[in-house]
Amino acid sequence: MTERLVVIGGDAAGMSAASQARRRRDDLEIVAFEKGPWTSYAACGIPYFVAGDVEELDRLVARTPQAFRDKQLIDVRTEHEVTAIDTGAGQVEVHDHAHGRTFTLGYDQLLVATGGRPVRPDLPGIDLDFVHGVQTLADGQAIHAYAEHGNSEHVVVVGGGYIGLEMAEAFIRWGADVTLLEAAPEVMGTLDPDMGALVRAALERHEVEVRLDTPVSGFEPGRVLTDDGVIEADLVVLGMGVAPNAGLAAAAGIPTGAKGAIVVNRRQQTPVPGVWAAGDCAESHHRVTGDKVHIALGTVANKQGRVAGINLGGGYATFPGVVGTAVTKLCATEVGRTGLSEREATAAGFEYAVVRIEATTRAHYFPGAKPVTVKMLAERGTGRVLGAQIVGEEGAAKRIDIVATAVTAGMTVEDVLNLDLGYSPPFSPVWDPVLVAARQLLPLV
Protein backbone atom coordinates (compact mmCIF):
# COMPACT_ATOMS: atom_id res chain seq x y z
CA MET A 1 0.00 0.00 0.00
CA THR A 2 1.20 3.51 -0.77
CA GLU A 3 2.60 5.36 2.19
CA ARG A 4 1.02 8.76 2.80
CA LEU A 5 2.63 11.93 4.11
CA VAL A 6 0.19 14.59 5.25
CA VAL A 7 1.49 18.14 5.55
CA ILE A 8 -0.50 20.72 7.50
CA GLY A 9 0.35 24.18 6.18
CA GLY A 10 1.34 25.15 2.64
CA ASP A 11 3.91 27.84 3.31
CA ALA A 12 7.73 27.80 3.51
CA ALA A 13 8.30 24.95 5.96
CA GLY A 14 5.51 22.69 4.75
CA MET A 15 6.20 23.01 1.04
CA SER A 16 10.00 22.85 1.45
CA ALA A 17 9.52 19.60 3.30
CA ALA A 18 7.03 18.25 0.76
CA SER A 19 9.41 19.10 -2.10
CA GLN A 20 12.39 17.45 -0.42
CA ALA A 21 10.39 14.35 0.44
CA ARG A 22 9.14 14.08 -3.15
CA ARG A 23 12.66 14.50 -4.53
CA ARG A 24 13.81 11.46 -2.55
CA ARG A 25 10.71 9.27 -2.81
CA ASP A 26 8.54 9.27 -5.88
CA ASP A 27 6.47 6.44 -4.40
CA LEU A 28 5.19 8.57 -1.51
CA GLU A 29 1.68 10.02 -1.58
CA ILE A 30 1.96 13.62 -0.39
CA VAL A 31 -1.11 15.62 0.60
CA ALA A 32 -0.68 19.20 1.80
CA PHE A 33 -3.55 21.10 3.39
CA GLU A 34 -3.46 24.90 3.39
CA LYS A 35 -6.30 26.82 4.96
CA GLY A 36 -5.77 29.91 2.81
CA PRO A 37 -5.70 30.31 -0.97
CA TRP A 38 -1.91 30.65 -1.36
CA THR A 39 1.12 28.37 -1.00
CA SER A 40 4.78 29.24 -0.43
CA TYR A 41 4.34 32.95 -0.13
CA ALA A 42 6.82 35.42 1.27
CA ALA A 43 5.07 36.98 4.25
CA CYS A 44 8.23 39.00 4.90
CA GLY A 45 7.56 40.76 1.60
CA ILE A 46 4.21 42.18 2.74
CA PRO A 47 5.57 45.48 4.12
CA TYR A 48 7.29 46.06 0.77
CA PHE A 49 4.07 45.32 -1.11
CA VAL A 50 2.30 47.86 1.10
CA ALA A 51 5.12 50.36 0.54
CA GLY A 52 4.85 49.92 -3.22
CA ASP A 53 8.27 48.33 -3.79
CA VAL A 54 6.54 45.18 -4.97
CA GLU A 55 3.75 46.00 -7.38
CA GLU A 56 1.88 42.73 -7.65
CA LEU A 57 0.96 40.60 -4.66
CA ASP A 58 1.41 37.50 -6.84
CA ARG A 59 5.14 38.29 -7.01
CA LEU A 60 5.36 37.19 -3.37
CA VAL A 61 4.18 33.69 -4.27
CA ALA A 62 7.23 31.51 -4.91
CA ARG A 63 5.23 28.57 -6.27
CA THR A 64 1.50 28.17 -6.88
CA PRO A 65 -0.58 25.18 -5.73
CA GLN A 66 -1.00 24.13 -9.36
CA ALA A 67 2.76 24.15 -9.91
CA PHE A 68 3.20 21.84 -6.91
CA ARG A 69 0.55 19.53 -8.33
CA ASP A 70 1.89 19.53 -11.86
CA LYS A 71 5.63 19.53 -11.32
CA GLN A 72 5.99 17.58 -8.10
CA LEU A 73 2.81 15.51 -7.84
CA ILE A 74 2.11 17.06 -4.45
CA ASP A 75 -1.63 17.02 -3.78
CA VAL A 76 -2.00 20.57 -2.46
CA ARG A 77 -5.47 21.42 -1.24
CA THR A 78 -6.00 25.10 -0.52
CA GLU A 79 -8.90 26.45 1.55
CA HIS A 80 -8.64 23.20 3.49
CA GLU A 81 -8.24 23.70 7.20
CA VAL A 82 -7.12 20.86 9.42
CA THR A 83 -9.34 21.06 12.49
CA ALA A 84 -8.06 18.09 14.50
CA ILE A 85 -5.22 15.59 14.68
CA ASP A 86 -5.77 12.10 16.06
CA THR A 87 -2.29 10.75 16.68
CA GLY A 88 -3.67 7.47 18.01
CA ALA A 89 -5.67 6.70 14.89
CA GLY A 90 -3.12 8.40 12.64
CA GLN A 91 -5.59 10.69 10.93
CA VAL A 92 -6.49 14.33 10.55
CA GLU A 93 -9.91 15.97 10.38
CA VAL A 94 -10.14 18.53 7.59
CA HIS A 95 -12.67 21.24 6.80
CA ASP A 96 -12.97 22.11 3.12
CA HIS A 97 -14.03 25.76 3.21
CA ALA A 98 -14.86 25.94 -0.47
CA HIS A 99 -17.38 23.13 -0.29
CA GLY A 100 -18.40 23.43 3.34
CA ARG A 101 -17.64 19.80 4.13
CA THR A 102 -15.52 18.03 6.72
CA PHE A 103 -13.68 14.75 6.23
CA THR A 104 -10.89 12.68 7.77
CA LEU A 105 -7.72 11.42 6.15
CA GLY A 106 -5.24 8.89 7.47
CA TYR A 107 -1.48 9.48 7.46
CA ASP A 108 1.60 7.36 7.89
CA GLN A 109 3.75 10.43 8.55
CA LEU A 110 2.45 13.83 9.56
CA LEU A 111 4.25 17.16 9.29
CA VAL A 112 2.82 20.02 11.30
CA ALA A 113 3.80 23.27 9.61
CA THR A 114 1.02 25.50 10.83
CA GLY A 115 3.22 28.59 11.04
CA GLY A 116 2.88 31.54 13.36
CA ARG A 117 0.14 33.96 14.21
CA PRO A 118 0.49 37.65 14.96
CA VAL A 119 0.04 38.38 18.64
CA ARG A 120 -3.37 40.03 19.19
CA PRO A 121 -3.86 40.78 22.86
CA ASP A 122 -7.41 40.61 24.16
CA LEU A 123 -8.02 44.35 24.24
CA PRO A 124 -11.38 46.10 23.92
CA GLY A 125 -12.05 46.83 20.25
CA ILE A 126 -9.17 44.74 18.85
CA ASP A 127 -11.55 43.10 16.39
CA LEU A 128 -12.63 46.40 14.87
CA ASP A 129 -12.22 46.52 11.10
CA PHE A 130 -9.45 49.12 11.08
CA VAL A 131 -7.10 47.01 13.26
CA HIS A 132 -4.88 44.77 11.12
CA GLY A 133 -2.20 42.18 11.79
CA VAL A 134 0.46 41.45 9.18
CA GLN A 135 0.66 37.80 8.30
CA THR A 136 -1.23 36.56 5.28
CA LEU A 137 -1.31 38.03 1.81
CA ALA A 138 -4.94 38.93 2.55
CA ASP A 139 -3.66 41.13 5.38
CA GLY A 140 -1.28 42.73 2.91
CA GLN A 141 -4.10 43.38 0.46
CA ALA A 142 -6.30 44.88 3.14
CA ILE A 143 -3.61 47.20 4.48
CA HIS A 144 -2.48 48.23 1.03
CA ALA A 145 -6.07 49.18 0.18
CA TYR A 146 -6.04 51.84 2.90
CA ALA A 147 -3.01 53.50 1.36
CA GLU A 148 -4.21 53.12 -2.19
CA HIS A 149 -7.61 54.63 -1.45
CA GLY A 150 -6.15 57.56 0.43
CA ASN A 151 -7.59 56.32 3.69
CA SER A 152 -4.35 56.34 5.66
CA GLU A 153 -3.77 59.91 6.71
CA HIS A 154 -3.30 58.82 10.31
CA VAL A 155 -1.66 55.45 10.86
CA VAL A 156 -0.87 53.98 14.25
CA VAL A 157 1.69 51.18 14.40
CA VAL A 158 1.54 49.19 17.62
CA GLY A 159 4.95 47.71 18.45
CA GLY A 160 8.44 48.86 17.56
CA GLY A 161 9.96 45.58 16.39
CA TYR A 162 10.76 44.34 12.89
CA ILE A 163 7.20 44.40 11.52
CA GLY A 164 6.46 47.70 13.23
CA LEU A 165 9.55 49.28 11.72
CA GLU A 166 8.85 47.96 8.23
CA MET A 167 5.18 49.01 8.30
CA ALA A 168 6.19 52.44 9.61
CA GLU A 169 8.49 52.78 6.60
CA ALA A 170 5.70 51.73 4.24
CA PHE A 171 3.43 54.50 5.49
CA ILE A 172 6.21 57.10 5.77
CA ARG A 173 6.61 56.55 2.06
CA TRP A 174 2.89 57.02 1.45
CA GLY A 175 3.21 60.35 3.25
CA ALA A 176 1.05 59.27 6.17
CA ASP A 177 1.18 60.78 9.61
CA VAL A 178 2.60 57.79 11.52
CA THR A 179 2.52 57.23 15.28
CA LEU A 180 4.43 54.27 16.70
CA LEU A 181 3.39 53.01 20.11
CA GLU A 182 5.91 50.95 22.07
CA ALA A 183 5.06 49.49 25.47
CA ALA A 184 8.75 49.13 26.41
CA PRO A 185 11.16 51.98 27.23
CA GLU A 186 12.84 51.69 23.79
CA VAL A 187 12.02 50.42 20.28
CA MET A 188 13.63 47.26 18.79
CA GLY A 189 13.69 45.11 21.88
CA THR A 190 15.99 42.59 20.22
CA LEU A 191 18.70 45.27 20.35
CA ASP A 192 20.09 46.79 23.50
CA PRO A 193 18.49 50.14 24.34
CA ASP A 194 21.58 52.15 23.28
CA MET A 195 21.32 50.65 19.78
CA GLY A 196 17.53 50.78 19.75
CA ALA A 197 17.83 54.52 20.41
CA LEU A 198 19.66 54.90 17.09
CA VAL A 199 16.72 53.27 15.33
CA ARG A 200 14.29 55.50 17.18
CA ALA A 201 16.29 58.54 16.09
CA ALA A 202 15.89 57.36 12.48
CA LEU A 203 12.12 57.03 12.97
CA GLU A 204 12.01 60.52 14.39
CA ARG A 205 14.06 61.92 11.51
CA HIS A 206 11.26 60.62 9.29
CA GLU A 207 8.75 62.43 11.51
CA VAL A 208 7.26 59.31 13.03
CA GLU A 209 5.86 60.17 16.43
CA VAL A 210 7.39 57.52 18.68
CA ARG A 211 5.71 57.06 22.06
CA LEU A 212 7.73 54.86 24.40
CA ASP A 213 6.39 53.23 27.59
CA THR A 214 2.96 53.49 26.01
CA PRO A 215 0.97 50.27 26.01
CA VAL A 216 -2.33 50.28 24.15
CA SER A 217 -5.42 49.89 26.33
CA GLY A 218 -8.02 49.51 23.59
CA PHE A 219 -9.51 50.67 20.30
CA GLU A 220 -12.62 52.60 19.36
CA PRO A 221 -13.68 53.44 15.82
CA GLY A 222 -11.09 55.92 14.54
CA ARG A 223 -9.16 56.03 17.82
CA VAL A 224 -6.47 54.15 19.71
CA LEU A 225 -6.69 54.34 23.49
CA THR A 226 -3.62 54.54 25.72
CA ASP A 227 -3.00 55.55 29.34
CA ASP A 228 -1.34 58.57 27.85
CA GLY A 229 -4.38 59.71 25.88
CA VAL A 230 -6.28 58.99 22.69
CA ILE A 231 -4.71 58.89 19.22
CA GLU A 232 -6.67 59.43 16.05
CA ALA A 233 -6.21 56.61 13.49
CA ASP A 234 -7.59 55.68 10.09
CA LEU A 235 -5.67 52.43 10.29
CA VAL A 236 -3.95 50.45 13.05
CA VAL A 237 -1.21 47.97 12.19
CA LEU A 238 -0.24 45.46 14.85
CA GLY A 239 3.43 44.55 15.09
CA MET A 240 3.35 42.91 18.49
CA GLY A 241 5.29 39.82 17.60
CA VAL A 242 4.48 36.39 16.26
CA ALA A 243 3.45 33.42 18.40
CA PRO A 244 3.69 29.81 17.28
CA ASN A 245 0.40 28.65 15.81
CA ALA A 246 0.56 25.39 17.70
CA GLY A 247 -2.90 25.11 19.24
CA LEU A 248 -3.95 22.32 16.89
CA ALA A 249 -0.88 20.27 17.77
CA ALA A 250 -1.19 21.01 21.50
CA ALA A 251 -4.85 19.93 21.45
CA ALA A 252 -3.70 16.62 19.96
CA GLY A 253 -1.29 16.08 22.84
CA ILE A 254 1.85 16.89 20.86
CA PRO A 255 4.22 18.46 23.40
CA THR A 256 4.96 22.15 23.25
CA GLY A 257 7.77 24.08 24.88
CA ALA A 258 9.35 27.52 24.39
CA LYS A 259 6.58 30.12 24.05
CA GLY A 260 4.18 27.31 23.22
CA ALA A 261 6.10 26.12 20.13
CA ILE A 262 6.12 22.43 19.24
CA VAL A 263 8.97 20.42 20.74
CA VAL A 264 11.22 18.87 18.07
CA ASN A 265 14.57 17.12 18.01
CA ARG A 266 17.33 18.00 15.57
CA ARG A 267 15.68 15.93 12.81
CA GLN A 268 12.42 17.89 13.35
CA GLN A 269 10.67 14.90 14.95
CA THR A 270 8.19 15.63 17.71
CA PRO A 271 8.10 13.24 20.67
CA VAL A 272 5.01 11.60 19.09
CA PRO A 273 5.98 8.81 16.67
CA GLY A 274 5.27 9.65 13.05
CA VAL A 275 4.65 13.32 13.78
CA TRP A 276 7.09 15.99 12.67
CA ALA A 277 7.03 19.77 12.93
CA ALA A 278 8.87 22.62 11.20
CA GLY A 279 8.73 26.37 10.75
CA ASP A 280 7.16 29.12 12.83
CA CYS A 281 5.11 26.60 14.87
CA ALA A 282 8.22 24.73 16.07
CA GLU A 283 11.02 25.33 18.54
CA SER A 284 14.65 25.97 17.61
CA HIS A 285 17.84 25.32 19.51
CA HIS A 286 19.86 28.46 20.31
CA ARG A 287 23.48 27.63 19.60
CA VAL A 288 24.91 30.20 22.00
CA THR A 289 22.73 29.76 25.07
CA GLY A 290 21.81 26.12 24.46
CA ASP A 291 18.19 27.02 25.24
CA LYS A 292 15.10 26.19 23.23
CA VAL A 293 13.71 29.30 21.58
CA HIS A 294 10.94 30.34 19.25
CA ILE A 295 12.20 32.23 16.18
CA ALA A 296 9.57 33.03 13.54
CA LEU A 297 11.68 33.69 10.46
CA GLY A 298 11.48 32.56 6.86
CA THR A 299 15.10 31.40 6.83
CA VAL A 300 14.56 29.12 9.80
CA ALA A 301 11.27 27.81 8.35
CA ASN A 302 12.95 26.99 5.05
CA LYS A 303 15.87 25.24 6.74
CA GLN A 304 13.69 23.26 9.14
CA GLY A 305 11.35 22.31 6.30
CA ARG A 306 14.28 21.11 4.22
CA VAL A 307 15.59 18.99 7.10
CA ALA A 308 12.17 17.51 7.86
CA GLY A 309 11.64 16.70 4.18
CA ILE A 310 15.00 14.97 3.77
CA ASN A 311 14.28 12.84 6.83
CA LEU A 312 10.70 12.12 5.69
CA GLY A 313 12.14 11.07 2.37
CA GLY A 314 14.35 8.50 4.06
CA GLY A 315 17.51 10.60 4.21
CA TYR A 316 19.36 12.03 7.17
CA ALA A 317 19.62 15.70 7.96
CA THR A 318 19.70 17.74 11.13
CA PHE A 319 19.00 21.36 11.97
CA PRO A 320 21.71 22.53 14.36
CA GLY A 321 19.79 25.65 15.40
CA VAL A 322 20.02 29.41 15.28
CA VAL A 323 22.22 32.18 16.61
CA GLY A 324 19.46 34.80 16.53
CA THR A 325 20.45 36.69 13.40
CA ALA A 326 18.06 39.25 11.94
CA VAL A 327 18.31 42.25 9.63
CA THR A 328 15.83 44.93 8.68
CA LYS A 329 15.76 48.54 7.61
CA LEU A 330 13.89 51.78 8.07
CA CYS A 331 14.26 53.75 4.85
CA ALA A 332 18.03 54.27 4.58
CA THR A 333 18.78 53.04 8.11
CA GLU A 334 19.86 49.42 8.24
CA VAL A 335 19.75 47.22 11.32
CA GLY A 336 21.40 43.87 12.01
CA ARG A 337 21.82 41.73 15.08
CA THR A 338 23.13 38.28 15.91
CA GLY A 339 23.92 36.22 18.98
CA LEU A 340 23.17 37.65 22.40
CA SER A 341 22.30 41.19 23.43
CA GLU A 342 23.47 42.42 26.85
CA ARG A 343 20.12 41.48 28.31
CA GLU A 344 20.24 37.99 26.80
CA ALA A 345 23.87 37.45 27.81
CA THR A 346 23.06 38.40 31.39
CA ALA A 347 20.01 36.14 31.45
CA ALA A 348 22.14 33.26 30.18
CA GLY A 349 24.64 33.85 32.97
CA PHE A 350 27.51 35.13 30.84
CA GLU A 351 29.93 37.67 32.21
CA TYR A 352 30.88 39.79 29.23
CA ALA A 353 32.85 42.71 27.92
CA VAL A 354 31.24 45.05 25.41
CA VAL A 355 32.20 47.87 23.04
CA ARG A 356 30.34 50.20 20.74
CA ILE A 357 32.30 51.76 17.90
CA GLU A 358 31.63 54.21 15.07
CA ALA A 359 33.04 53.58 11.61
CA THR A 360 32.16 53.98 7.95
CA THR A 361 30.85 51.46 5.44
CA ARG A 362 33.52 52.34 2.85
CA ALA A 363 36.97 53.91 2.99
CA HIS A 364 36.45 57.29 4.66
CA TYR A 365 37.56 59.09 1.49
CA PHE A 366 35.28 57.12 -0.84
CA PRO A 367 32.02 58.71 -2.02
CA GLY A 368 28.99 57.13 -0.38
CA ALA A 369 30.85 56.11 2.78
CA LYS A 370 28.09 55.94 5.38
CA PRO A 371 28.22 55.95 9.16
CA VAL A 372 27.85 52.63 10.93
CA THR A 373 27.75 51.78 14.62
CA VAL A 374 28.81 48.31 15.73
CA LYS A 375 28.31 46.93 19.22
CA MET A 376 30.01 43.66 20.11
CA LEU A 377 29.90 41.43 23.18
CA ALA A 378 32.36 38.74 24.23
CA GLU A 379 32.59 36.42 27.19
CA ARG A 380 35.16 37.46 29.76
CA GLY A 381 38.04 35.08 30.15
CA THR A 382 37.42 32.91 27.11
CA GLY A 383 37.07 35.88 24.77
CA ARG A 384 34.35 34.03 22.87
CA VAL A 385 32.23 36.40 20.79
CA LEU A 386 28.65 36.30 22.06
CA GLY A 387 26.91 38.65 19.66
CA ALA A 388 26.80 41.93 17.82
CA GLN A 389 24.40 44.66 16.79
CA ILE A 390 24.80 47.00 13.84
CA VAL A 391 22.92 50.18 12.96
CA GLY A 392 24.02 52.21 9.97
CA GLU A 393 23.32 53.10 6.39
CA GLU A 394 23.90 51.41 3.04
CA GLY A 395 26.14 48.38 3.42
CA ALA A 396 25.79 48.16 7.20
CA ALA A 397 23.26 45.41 7.95
CA LYS A 398 24.61 42.39 6.09
CA ARG A 399 27.98 42.76 7.80
CA ILE A 400 26.22 41.01 10.68
CA ASP A 401 26.70 37.78 8.69
CA ILE A 402 30.41 37.89 9.48
CA VAL A 403 29.67 37.89 13.19
CA ALA A 404 26.88 35.31 12.79
CA THR A 405 29.40 32.98 11.16
CA ALA A 406 32.04 33.74 13.78
CA VAL A 407 29.59 33.16 16.65
CA THR A 408 28.51 29.87 15.07
CA ALA A 409 32.15 28.80 14.86
CA GLY A 410 32.77 29.76 18.49
CA MET A 411 35.44 32.28 17.50
CA THR A 412 37.12 34.52 20.02
CA VAL A 413 37.50 38.27 19.65
CA GLU A 414 41.10 37.72 18.56
CA ASP A 415 39.95 35.23 15.91
CA VAL A 416 37.55 37.85 14.57
CA LEU A 417 40.16 40.59 14.68
CA ASN A 418 42.39 38.42 12.49
CA LEU A 419 39.72 37.55 9.92
CA ASP A 420 40.89 38.05 6.35
CA LEU A 421 37.90 40.05 5.11
CA GLY A 422 37.46 41.60 1.70
CA TYR A 423 38.92 45.07 1.40
CA SER A 424 38.74 47.63 -1.36
CA PRO A 425 37.90 51.32 -0.89
CA PRO A 426 34.38 51.13 -2.43
CA PHE A 427 33.46 48.27 -0.10
CA SER A 428 35.18 48.79 3.21
CA PRO A 429 37.71 50.73 5.22
CA VAL A 430 41.00 48.85 5.50
CA TRP A 431 39.79 47.73 8.94
CA ASP A 432 36.23 46.60 8.36
CA PRO A 433 33.84 48.03 11.01
CA VAL A 434 33.42 44.52 12.44
CA LEU A 435 37.20 44.27 12.87
CA VAL A 436 37.37 47.70 14.47
CA ALA A 437 34.87 46.51 17.07
CA ALA A 438 36.91 43.37 17.71
CA ARG A 439 40.13 45.39 17.98
CA GLN A 440 38.65 47.64 20.62
CA LEU A 441 37.00 44.76 22.45
CA LEU A 442 40.16 42.64 22.69
CA PRO A 443 41.85 44.47 25.59
CA LEU A 444 38.60 44.29 27.60
CA VAL A 445 37.90 40.56 27.59
Q: Which C-beta is closer to a second copy: that of 154 or that of 303?
A: 303
296 binds a second copy (CB under 8 A): no
Site for a second copy (CB under 8 A): which residue of 21, 30, 60, 181?
60
Of the pair 245, 428, the CB lying nearest a second copy is at 428
301, 136 contact by CB (below 8 A): no
**Are β-strands 75-78 and 29-34 bridged in parallel, bridged antiparallel, or unpaired?**
parallel
CB of residue 366 to a second copy, shortest distance in Å: 6
How many residues does the structure list for the chain?
445
Torsions phi, psi for 342 (to 5 deg): -60, -45
428 binds a second copy (CB under 8 A): yes
How far is C-alpha 165 from the geometric centre of its chain's CA atoms? Answer: 13
- CA distances to 18, 81, 141, 261, 281 from 248, in Å: 20, 11, 27, 11, 10
Residues in the interface with a second copy (CB under 8 A) total 65
Q: Out of 24, 29, 44, 64, which one is annotated catalytic?
A: 44
Selected binder of a second copy within 147, 277, 326, 441 (CB under 8 A): 326
CA dihedral sign, ordered 372, 373, 377, 380: positive
Nearest to a second copy of 65, 395 (CB atom): 395
Rounded least distance, CB 173 to a second copy, Å: 13
DSSP bridge pairs for 387? 339, 377
CA distance 55 to 269: 39
Mark whether 44 is an active-site residue.
yes
3-state DSSP percent of the chain in helix, strand and coil, to 5: 30, 30, 40
List binders of a second copy among 387-416 (CB under 8 A): 395, 397-402, 404-406, 408-409, 411, 415
CB 275 within 8 A of CB 267: no
Nearer to a second copy, 92 or 261 (CB): 261
The correct pick among 106, 124, 320, 381 for binding a second copy (CB under 8 A) is: 320
Instruction: Write down the least CB distance from residue 119 to a second copy, Å.
Output: 20
CB of 274 to a second copy, least distance (A): 25
DSSP structural state of residue 76: E
| Residue 10 burial (10 A CB sphere; 0-12, 13-18, 19+) | buried
Binding mask 328-367 for a second copy (x = CB under 8 A): xx----x-x-x------------------------x-xxx
Q: Which residues are catalytic?
A: 44
Footprint on this chain of a second copy (rule: CB under 8 A): 12, 42, 44-45, 48, 53-54, 59-60, 162, 287, 297-300, 302-303, 306, 319-329, 334, 336, 338, 363, 365-367, 395, 397-402, 404-406, 408-409, 411, 415, 418-428, 430-432, 439
